[in-house]
């Protein structure tokens, strides 16, 4: 390659690098993989609503549909959801269960189609740690649907 052509190639390469370096770069904060009360202000607000039909519950469901959330809560009795007695459903509330006469405030969450091998029966009326995907808000029943990923006694 002739020296003149070599210089042209180097100048062209330098120009391309300058254009790339000067191009605007869009940087956005990555959303955490799992939303918690520590990294999501909206989740912290949701878990403190004073009524299960608070409009914020529906707003949260629409904004975070399909996102993973993790929170402390308690579940009530697991009921059979299928005729084959292999799928179960329960309601989950935020916070801790104090006794069997606990007042049900805050968001009322529902999980359905949970396989009987996915949870121990000992989770009835117990404090649990939930990881779930946010589903729809059911206006007719005022509950937030969750797609259960993990539930552990705490």
* pLDDT the model gives residue 9: 59
Instruction: Please report which residue ranges of 52-129 form alpha helices under DSSP H.
Output: 55-64
Alpha-carbon distance of 123 to 152, in angstroms, equals: 8
Question: Tell me, what's the pLDDT at 94?
Answer: 87
pLDDT at 63: 97
Tens digit of pLDDT for each residue in 51-85?
888 999 999 999 999 999 999 988 877 777 666 66
Which of 133 and 31 is assigned the larger pLDDT?
133
pLDDT in tens, 13-43: 556 555 555 555 454 456 679 999 999 999 9
**CA distance between the termini of the chain:** 72
Q: What is the mean pLDDT of the chain?
A: 79
Give the fold, CATH level 3, of 34-153. Answer: OB fold (Dihydrolipoamide Acetyltransferase, E2P) (2.40.50)
State the Cα–Cα distance between residues 97 and 79, nearest whole angstrom: 19
**CB contact at 8 A, 145 and 137:** yes
């Amino acid at each position: 390659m002739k020296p003149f052509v070599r210089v042209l190639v180097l100048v062209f390469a330098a120009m391309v690098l300058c254009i790339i370096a000067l191009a605007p770069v869009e940087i956005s904060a990555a959303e955490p993989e799992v939303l918690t009360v520590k990294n999501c202000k909206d989740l912290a607000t949701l878990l403190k609503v004073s009524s299960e039909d608070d409009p914020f519950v529906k707003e949260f469901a629409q904004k975070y549909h399909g996102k993973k959330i993790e929170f402390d809560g308690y579940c009530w009795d697991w009921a059979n959801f299928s005729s084959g007695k292999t799928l179960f459903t329960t309601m989950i509330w935020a916070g801790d269960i104090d006794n069997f006469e606990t007042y049900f405030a805050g968001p009322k969450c529902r999980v359905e189609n949970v396989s009987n091998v996915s949870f121990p029966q000992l989770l009835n009326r117990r404090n649990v740690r939930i990881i779930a995907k946010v589903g729809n808000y059911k206006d007719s029943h005022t509950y937030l649907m969750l797609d259960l990923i993990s539930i552990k006694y705490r």
